[in-house]
Chains A and B, each alone.
Chain A
Amino acid sequence: MKIEDILKQYHNEWLLIEVDKFDEDYKPLEGTVIAHSPLKHVIYQHMLEHNGKNYAIEYAGEFPEVAVLL
């Protein structure tokens, strides 16, 4: 499934996607959703437990603006 179509199916959640196809800049183009959660660390955990090859972590929805000071 195309990544742009996947992103339309979820609302304000982090997605773990197993990627089937990247573009030449390794931007994910097609893939399958493995897990989704409002919590990013949950997605990271799913990635460790999954036996796939290529992954992307995407946020579906408009990310809330937060003040960032590193």
Chain B
Amino acid sequence: MKIYRLEKHGNLLYTNSAVKGNGIIVAVKLLIDTGSNYTILPFETLIKIGRDPSFIKPTVQIVAANSLFVAPKVKVEWIHAFGLKFESFQVLAHNLPSEFYADGVLGMDFLTRAKATIDTAKEQIYFSEI
């Protein structure tokens, strides 16, 4: 079993991650969010790695706590977190508010595929099959 320490701010848990495209790697800080179907990255990060989401379809309708909006779905060359690298991984393009500590969100699409178990008390995440 592999165990990784998560970064805690307030009651929220974060991790370092990285995405690659076009020969460029951008390291990002992501909120661990079991309430999100999708992993979300900012527009500028995706543009930088050659995946400009501005004119991309399909889009996905996002239901947030107090709003409803549409975000483009973009495929990155790979995304890496917790020693796992998933290739051709689809993420949503959306900029979180500037007051938000993270660049984006690591959602259930990644966490489920990774078979992750999160221990909120210990601020750790476990992967039993890697």
Contacts and interface: CB of A to CB of B under 8 A. Distances in A.
Contact of B65 (A24, A28, A70): A70
Interface of B: 9-10, 12, 16-18, 23-29, 31, 33, 35-36, 42-45, 47-48, 64-66, 80-83, 95, 98-101, 103, 105
Q: Which 8 A-B pairs have the closest CB atoms?
A: A26-B18, A44-B44, A56-B27, A65-B10, A54-B25, A69-B65, A40-B98, A63-B101
B25 A48 contact: no
A52 B98 CA distance: 24
A51 to B, nearest CB: 10
A60 B113 CA distance: 32
B100 A66 contact: yes
Contacts of B82: 25
A27 B7 CA distance: 13
B44 A48 contact: yes
Contact-size category for A: 20 to 34
Given A44-B42, A48-B48, A55 B24 contact: yes
Given A44-B44, A55-B48, A26 B95 contact: no
Contacts of A47: 26, 44-45, 48
Interface in A26-54: 26-28, 39-41, 44-45, 47-48, 52-54
B47 to A, nearest CB: 6
A66 to B, nearest CB: 5
Nearest to A19: B27
Given A25-B83, A47-B48, A70-B105, A41 B25 contact: no
A59 B44 contact: no
A54 B23 CA distance: 9
